[in-house]
Amino acid sequence: MKRKVAAASRRLTKNDKRRDAASTLTAWLKRTRTLVEKSLRTAVPAAATKPATIHRALRYSLLSGGKRLRPLLCCAASEACGGTARSALPAACAVEMIHAYSLIHDDLPCMDNDDLRRGKPTSHKMFGEGIAVLAGDALLTAAFAVLAAAQPRALYHGSDLVIELARAAGSRGLIAGQVADLEAEGLQPSEPALYFIHAAKTGLLLRASLKLGAMCAGGTKAQVAALDRFGFALGLAFQIQDDILDATQSAQKLGKTAGKDAAAGKITFPAFFGLEKSSALAEGWTSEAIASLQSFGPRGETLRALAADLLQRER
């Protein structure tokens, strides 16, 4: 009897801890998202700035919702290294601007040809293809101007930040992933190609977000390296979960066209491994991500909670 009571009370404590962690994360997300949204609104010219079409278009895509995962990771990484979310905001805005540009271009008819993004018509559906291309270009360019406002601490200079982001976004980074994705269409899928495409398309910007946040806080080289390992594993877990959602959820829930990758014969984790193995893989990469944060102690708690939370997401 005594043993049963002890076990029940242990379970209660565990559940209480889980509930506490969830409500701490919810409060952190609310606070940090507010900071990020406010900074993003002032990071780009007002909608009426001439030529107004391009500024309306870039604000439309940048300020149209989204989870803001990359800026949140950037802010959380800064805090994990003893800095503040606020000091990471220029870098946080810059990574979200790169992300927004990549989505606009990815949705174009010459790429994935999508009509729906974040529950709204895609940029080229709203403004036409020419303006959508230019809105992406403008966001990509402006991201580096915004990043220039960052004041990294200790070991790092502004130029280290610029190089980090340029490498992640460039022809050996995101763009390499997109090229591999385009060239894989219609070919026999292979496991190395699957991992390469997603590690580049999804993982590299997540890793850069974390590393930039750490650099803004003057994190040590070891901390930056640990966050890079965290980002690599998290990127894979996030993409696998994204593929699972794409295969199992409705467009209304996702805010983007569902089941499109599989229909287009694109290489996805569920198509390659099946849904069950894909779920196990997402869990495995999440555990690996969390394990790489060991050296951060309590300061790594937000990143740990974020990783666990992303595995449960429904959009």
Q: Which of 17, 67, 157, 253 binds ligand GRG (CB under 6 A)?
A: 67
Instruction: Name residues whose C-beta falls within 8 Å of residue 153's C-beta, 6 or more positions apart in sequence.
Output: 83, 87, 215, 216, 217, 218
Can you tell me the distance from the alpha carbon of 197 to that of 61, in angstroms, rounded to the nearest whole number?
24
> From the CB of 229, what's the least distance to ligand GRG, in Å?
19
Identify which of residues 1 and 263 has a Cβ nearer to ligand GRG in the complex: 263
Q: What one-character DSSP code corresponds to residue 121?
A: E
Asked whether 195 and 181 are in contact (CB, 8 A), the reply is no
Taking CB under 6 A as the rule, does residue 105 contact ligand GRG? yes
> From the CB of 67, what's the least distance to ligand GRG, in Å?
4
Residue nearest to ligand GRG (CB): 66
Q: Which of 66, 119, 158, 284 binds ligand GRG (CB under 6 A)?
A: 66
Question: What single string gives the DSSP state of each residue in 66-120?
Answer: ---HHHHHHHHHHHHTT--TGGGHHHHHHHHHHHHHHHHHHHSTTTT--SEETTE
Taking CB under 6 A as the rule, does residue 120 contact ligand GRG? no
Can you tell me the distance from the alpha carbon of 232 to that of 245, in angstroms, rounded to the nearest whole number?
20
Please report how the helices 158-169 and 129-147 are oriented relative to each other, as an axis angle in degrees rounded to 10: 150
Taking CB under 6 A as the rule, does residue 251 contact ligand GRG? no
Q: Which of 69, 72, 92, 215 binds ligand GRG (CB under 6 A)?
A: 69
Identify which of residues 299 and 309 has a Cβ nearer to ligand GRG in the complex: 309
Helix (H, G, I), strand (E, B) or coil at 153: coil
Q: Which of 59, 124, 201, 304 binds ligand GRG (CB under 6 A)?
A: 201
Of 22-30, 31-39, 61-69, 72-80, which part binds ligand GRG (CB under 6 A)?
A: 61-69
Which residues form the interface with ligand GRG (CB under 6 A)? Answer: 66-67, 69, 102-103, 105-106, 111, 118, 174-175, 177-178, 201-202, 239, 242
